[in-house]
Structure 1
Amino acid sequence: MKALLNNDVQRVVFIILLVLSNSCLVLSQKINFTEHIAPIIHQNCSPCHRKGESAPFSLLTYGDVVKRAQFILKVTEMRYMPPWKADHGFGEFKNVRRLTVGQIATIKVWIQDGMPEGPKEKFQLPIFEENSQLNKKPDLVLSWNKKFTLSSQNKEDYILFSLPTNLKEDTFIKSIEFRAGNKKYVHHARLSVDTTQLMRQTDAKSIDDPSIADFAKVRMKEEFWVGWVPGNTPIEYPKGTAKFLKAGSDLLLNVHYAPNNLENEQDSSVVNLYFAKDTIEKKIQTFILHEEDITNKPFEIAPDTVITFFAKSQKIPYPIHLLSVQPHLHLLGKSLRCFAITPNGEMIPLIKISKWDFNWQMTYQYKEPLLIPAESVIYAEATYDNTSKNPENRFNPPQKITYGWNSTQEMMNVIFQYTF
């Protein structure tokens, strides 16, 4: 009897939480899948949890969700899912993937009530565009000339791919989407633009290839266009803004493949381009705060140490509007904070991630373009843990870690998209 009373009290608490979080549920109405749970799942989970996407199982139908119900409750209560690593209250973002307290309570009450399905005639499967997380057909799809066979030498590889766009005229790009082909081994990708077509000789070659290494490293310093890591989703740029792509340009893609010791593992990843349909008033630019901007150099992490590095930009010469921010650290990263200081001493919060997760790195899009006044300075602080207590440390005992692209080395990047 006591247990029953406790359950009843708990149910009342959950219902109060629903009301406080502006839930639209009628208190006398029993929560069901079709009307109450499906909208939460389809908006926050199904875009990734469906066939062809990165998540390991589908969450579309009543049967899909019932099968995973207890697991869904556990990962949503602990806020492991949906993945959203930026701290609440330090910057306001448009693409927040975070369930409300009321939504989590709704799921819990539904499970406790036996997971009723609700009116089947009202259920509609969400309609998703295949091979796109933006749920619309791309205007241009680019991929490898032929499938690329990965090395079986159990080492990290960085391979360059040159993707001719064959565009006949200058084009504004509203969104860019990288889709990993071999999701098991495609670790991350960096996309830039080659307006010279000279990098076609690097297609499907390693950046360490002696025939192109020096030339490739120079060319790869061209503008960073977009970056992809597991967990990152494409964004659509705000109205009136877009990326500019010159006619005849090639896309230069630097793909990082994780170590592999299997024969005949292949990849054929894809880049989707979405053209702007609205009138473009401002071109989107890229600004990166990186290792060269660190003030307490050298960028070295001694064994058995926890250290924080500080970076700062030059004074911003003119007012800019930040559209998005994408931090990037590797396995030793523990936390990151970034902010701007205006000429009058005001602090503008840009992003804070108290618990860095190497496996979930995102492009965070600001709720509204964020004005950074002229003469402001942007600062970043990143903490790294190179001790044996860090479960992500791949070395035991710990070793000195320096800058490098391999995941067992370290980086400190904060990438901003902006207009002026």
Structure 2
Amino acid sequence: MGFIVERRGAGSTAPRILYSKNMRYKLAGLFITSACLLSAADKVTFSENIAPIVYENCVTCHRPGEAAPFALISYDDVKKRGSLIASVTKSRYMPPWHAAHGYGEFAAERRLSDEQIAMIGAWVKDGMPQGDPAKMPKVPQFTEGWHLGKPDLILQMPAGFDLPASGPDVYRNFVIPTGLTEDKWVRAVEFRPSARKVVHHVLYAWVSGGSLPRQNGADGKPGFGGMGTVGVVPGQGGGSLGGWAVGNTPVFLPDGLALPLPKGADFVLQMHFHLTGKAETEQSTVGIYFADKPPEKQLFAAQAPALFGFGAGLDIPAGKKDYTIEGALTLPADVMAYSVGAHAHYVGKDIKATATLPDGTVKPILWIPDWDFAWQDRYNYKDPVFLPKGTRMDVRIVYDNSADNPRNPSNPPKRVLWGEQSTDEMGSVTMQVVAVHKEDEPVLQKFFTERTQEAIQAGIQNGTAKRFMQQHQAER
């Protein structure tokens, strides 16, 4: 017999089942078999589990003709690089998203969940089974031509810029006359490179017509070198119009918001090229979309330290591992924050911004604990963030100018000062904000103008301005 039934004592009507040793072995086998059947039923496959993750988070860049070095469209594409994918997703190196989780709620986060990362690891460990191809999701379809529709104004670089097959990253500014005969307001800019694989990111700006060299720099090539302050050079006249980075999809500003583009202005493309092993020629085109009328509210850049740290006295000794600068501002009016971004160069290490409300509540604004100059994103808040009058924005930026920093461009490390070259440094966090009350716009305009002027004066006093002007004149 496999089991024995024992009658219980008085007061109990339920029989007690005693299992024989043989029966215990049989039941144990049954449980093991059931577990195996459950595991087989829940096996992670490419078709049902991995393809949805890849298609949602990777193929924007990892497809033919885009900037990523290989495609991840088919099962074979992904299986071929399965171990690499498991490694870079586990370390969160990919997908590229440097804002710390839980430190601000942003739209379109390129971040995998812990469950998705574990699923990829389990799939690779299990031999990367394909599963039933009939259960594959459809491959995403991407818009051909202009993503946002026909632009109101199309601008193209006057000439192509030749890039070598190999060498260090290249940073270059290209100035394009707009030919505008009246002031316009920009709702969106769409970027179309001709050699997509070499373009890593682009910043857009406008400057007063003729204030920058339009064609040849000192090296006789289209454009000119330098980076970081196009559109905000003291006395130059200009402003930011956003930017593009690998993986970005162009979007319109929220209704009622737009950025100025004055008549006669020049449009500037400040470009970062990453060489691919093949000589390329880049001649970018941009499509600009105008608002039908002036914006209901003006966008302001709440930046700390002001002017990309121009007045912060940046002077980082060679070998210094934890050099820190700080900046702060106190808002003179109620605002809504729509987006935030950070800026530093190669020895930037850790960038954090908080907002302390008048009641003492601290709100996270942005934290990038592992700053990477190659990945400069603007982070759009999922919902606009209300910051009342009297809110203090605090920014702390840490730099690592030691030999231990793998991104340090100098070996051995050298003293680093504020400047436009990639081997120089800058530092700031910038929030795009609007006044909650229309009548507060002049208050904000005056406040941010005065902060810029104060940063210029501080830069004059600490010697930054003199070095900057010497460098700027040499580049012209």
What TM-score results when the alignment is normalised by the length of structure 2?
0.69
Aligned counterpart, 1:252: 268
Among residues 67, 70, 80, which one is paired with 1:57 in the alignment? 70
Q: In 1, distance between residues paired with 2:386 and 2:262? A: 28
Q: Note the C-alpha offset of 1:109.
A: 4.0
Matched, 1:267 2:279: no
Aligned counterpart, 1:335: 350
Matched, 1:163 2:179: no
Aligned counterpart, 2:405: 390
Aligned residue identity for 2:210 = L
Q: Note the C-alpha offset of 1:231.
A: 6.6
Deviations 1:317-346 (A, max 9, x none): 211111111111111111111112223333
What SS does structure 2 have at the residue aligned with 1:352? Answer: strand
Residues 1:249 and 1:404: Cα distance change in structure 2 (over 3 Å):
closer
Aligned residue identity for 1:254 = Q
Among residues 202, 213, 220, which one is paired with 1:202 in the alignment? 213
Aligned counterpart, 2:114: 101
Q: Note the C-alpha offset of 1:45.
A: 0.3
Q: In 2, distance between residues paired with 1:118 and 1:258? A: 39
Matched, 1:129 2:140: no
What SS does structure 1 have at the residue aligned with 2:425? Answer: coil
Q: Note the C-alpha offset of 1:402.
A: 0.3
What SS does structure 2 have at the residue aligned with 1:223? Answer: strand
Q: Note the C-alpha offset of 1:83.
A: 1.0
Residues 1:353 and 1:403: Cα distance change in structure 2 (over 3 Å):
same
Q: Note the C-alpha offset of 1:44.
A: 0.4
Q: CA RMSD in A?
A: 4.1
Aligned residue identity for 2:375 = W
Residues 1:160 and 1:119: Cα distance change in structure 2 (over 3 Å):
closer
Residues 172-183 of structure 1 aligned to structure 2 (within 5 Å):
172-182=185-195
Among residues 394, 410, 417, which one is paired with 2:425 in the alignment? 410
Q: Note the C-alpha offset of 1:368.
A: 0.8
Aligned counterpart, 2:378: 363
Identity among equivalent positions (%) equals 33
| Residues 230 and 361 in structure 1, CA contact (< 8 A), matched pair in contact too | no
Deviations 1:30-51 (A, max 9, x none): 5443343222111100011112
Q: In 2, distance between residues paired with 1:288 and 1:370? A: 16
User: Which of 314-323 and 137-146 deviates more?
Assistant: 137-146
Residues 1:396 and 1:166: Cα distance change in structure 2 (over 3 Å):
closer
Residues 1:297 and 1:273: Cα distance change in structure 2 (over 3 Å):
closer
Aligned counterpart, 2:395: 380
Aligned residue identity for 2:258 = A
Among residues 90, 95, 98, which one is paired with 1:77 in the alignment? 90
Deviations 1:196-219 (A, max 9, x none): 5435x722233899xx99x99556
Q: Note the C-alpha offset of 1:71.
A: 2.0
Aligned counterpart, 2:359: 344
What SS does structure 1 have at the residue aligned with 2:92? Answer: coil
Residues 1:354 and 1:407: Cα distance change in structure 2 (over 3 Å):
same
Q: In 2, distance between residues paired with 1:349 and 1:236? A: 25
Among residues 354, 362, 367, which one is paired with 2:369 in the alignment? 354
| Residues 293 and 312 in structure 1, CA contact (< 8 A), matched pair in contact too | no
| Unaligned stretches of 5+ residues in structure 2 | 1-31, 436-476
Q: Which has the higher helix share?
A: 2
Q: In 1, distance between residues paired with 2:326 and 2:202? A: 24
Q: Note the C-alpha offset of 1:412.
A: 0.4
Aligned residue identity for 2:269 = L
Among residues 243, 254, 265, which one is paired with 1:238 in the alignment? 254
Q: Note the C-alpha offset of 1:129.
A: 1.8
Aligned counterpart, 1:115: 129
Q: In 2, distance between residues paired with 1:166 and 1:292? A: 28
Q: Note the C-alpha offset of 1:93.
A: 1.1
Residues 1:167 and 1:129: Cα distance change in structure 2 (over 3 Å):
farther
Q: Note the C-alpha offset of 1:382.
A: 0.8
Deviations 1:220-275 (A, max 9, x none): 5521222455676655433443334456654223345679999x853212324345
Q: In 2, distance between residues paired with 1:138 and 1:103? A: 38
Q: Note the C-alpha offset of 1:145.
A: 2.0
Among residues 341, 348, 356, which one is paired with 1:326 in the alignment? 341
Residues 1:274 and 1:36: Cα distance change in structure 2 (over 3 Å):
farther
Aligned counterpart, 2:19: none
Aligned counterpart, 1:223: 239
Matched, 1:43 2:59: no
Residues 1:190 and 1:206: Cα distance change in structure 2 (over 3 Å):
farther
Q: In 2, distance between residues paired with 1:95 and 1:143? A: 29
What SS does structure 2 have at the residue aligned with 1:306? Answer: coil
| Residues 309 and 381 in structure 1, CA contact (< 8 A), matched pair in contact too | yes
Aligned pair count reads: 392
| Residues 315 and 375 in structure 1, CA contact (< 8 A), matched pair in contact too | yes
Residues 1:300 and 1:163: Cα distance change in structure 2 (over 3 Å):
same
Matched, 1:287 2:307: no
What SS does structure 1 have at the residue aligned with 2:102? Answer: coil
